[in-house]
Amino acid sequence: MLPVKRTIRKRGERGNVLIEFALMSTVLMGMTLGVADFGRIFAVGDKAANAAAAGTAYGALSPAHYTDLAAIENAARNDLGNITNAAVLVDRTCRCAIGGLPVSCAEDPDVAACPSGQTRKTYLEVKVTIPFHSLSGLPVVPGLTNVRGRSIVRVE
């Protein structure tokens, strides 16, 4: 059996471990908070995308649903749960062709007349914006103050 030798530190090296721990713990804490913030960005973004999809899913149920923009907004807000400071914008547009120029969505067929052979197509768009606040206060992602979700569907 080999004898265990104790290392004797010189007087000038006694506080090295404490200083190294203090320096590295601040770096590790900053990295931990940055990773937590980055994960929160994805979670809030997923919540915004799901709320937008819930709004368009409600609007796509029937013509009575897609003409009631306030109910579509409420469906998106209900999906957000306890997030109260989110902005929800609902828009309904009509086009004569896929990717064509917008036309009026009025129910009068003379107002929204499309060229012959084309039928009017109605689209719903729901945009959800949720303000994001960093836990750490570190400029991990500079300029990121809002997280957005968007959903567009064609309704019949």
Position 138 scores a pLDDT of 63
Position 13 scores a pLDDT of 67
Look at residue 3 and tell me whether its pLDDT is greater than 80: no
Position 11 scores a pLDDT of 62
d(CA 83, CA 54): 15
**Does residue 4 lie in a domain region?**
no
The structure's pTM equals 0.76
β-sheet bridge partners, residue 87: 129
Looking at the 3D structure of the chain, how many domains does it have?
Answer: 1
Give the pairing type, strands 121-131 and 102-103: unpaired
Position 106 scores a pLDDT of 74
**Does residue 7 lie in a domain region?**
no
Contacts of 31 (CB under 8 A, 6+ apart): none
pLDDT band at 134 (very low <50, low <70, confident <90, very high): confident
Position 10 scores a pLDDT of 62
β-sheet bridge partners, residue 146: 131
R_g of the chain computed on alpha carbons: 28
Average pLDDT of the segment spanning 25-51: 89
d(CA 12, CA 41): 46
Write out the residue range of the structural domain in which residue 82 sits: 15-155
**Does residue 5 lie in a domain region?**
no
**Does residue 1 lie in a domain region?**
no
d(CA 149, CA 110): 35
> Of the spans 75-79, 80-84, 103-107, which averages the highest pLDDT?
75-79
Average pLDDT of the segment spanning 116-133: 88
**Does residue 10 lie in a domain region?**
no
